[in-house]
Amino acid sequence: MKLADQWREIEHTLPGSWRDARLALTVPDDARCDRAAALLGPAAPLRSGKTIRFFTGRRGAGVGPDAITRLLRRLDREGIEGTVELVGSEEAPAEPDIGRPTLAASWDAALSVLPADWSDLYVEVELRSGGQLDRAALLAAPLNPLRTAHAPGFRFRCAKNFGYGASPMMTRRCLARLDEEAIEGELGLVHALSDTHPVGTQGPVWHVAGRTV
């Protein structure tokens, strides 16, 4: 069965109130596994051996279920074979206290689906109002935010244990500051790395739109 069809079958087994799902793709061929991880890039995949882990969310962190289908169809078109499995899922609260998740809550949700050995993240916050961008950047200054060109918001790095980037605790504190001033937005993980061990450097770097971040 094609990978996209496997995911659609999994999606149909999820409860109607599902919020996010953690998935694992196993590709027996090492070379094809490298290619699969590259094609799944927008979903911030984390590879361990022949298994690639990624997640999808209906709102907040992660790419949506339809986007996962499109990504897996790319793999299908290249003839990449494997097995998609559901690792875990979370349901949305039946009666949420607020209409939209706070940024701090979105951060907690994003971290909850990452493997225990994650080390580096490149994170994006897209604000609902461009008029709040300057204030948001000031409140988030400890994160060293970099403004985005495609939407009102900013990106920043987070390092779990060492290297370049704000700590997870500092990240949550800054996002909570935005929540306290009713600055709304959506948070997503652009890139994620696991179990990195820099030698003589401040950590890994990403090249985005011709820039090193």
Ordered by where they begin, the domains of the chain are 3-91 (3.30.70), 103-212 (3.30.70)
Which residues on neighbouring strands pair with residue 125, listed in sequence order? Answer: 154, 187
CB 152 within 8 A of CB 129: yes
> Would you give the DSSP letter of residue 54?
E
Q: What is the reported pTM?
A: 0.51
Residue located via tokens 């290297």: 163
Question: What does 99-140 look like in DSSP terms, one character per residue?
Answer: SS--HHHHHHHHHHTS-TTEEEEEEEEEES-GGGHHHHHHHT
- pLDDT score, position 95: 47
Residue by residue, pLDDT tens for the chain (213 residues) are 899 999 999 999 988 888 888 999 999 998 899 999 999 998 889 998 999 999 898 765 568 899 999 999 999 999 999 999 999 888 766 544 445 689 999 999 999 988 888 889 999 999 988 889 999 999 999 999 999 877 889 999 999 887 788 999 999 999 999 999 999 999 999 888 887 766 656 666 666 666 666
Residue located via tokens 């009666």: 95
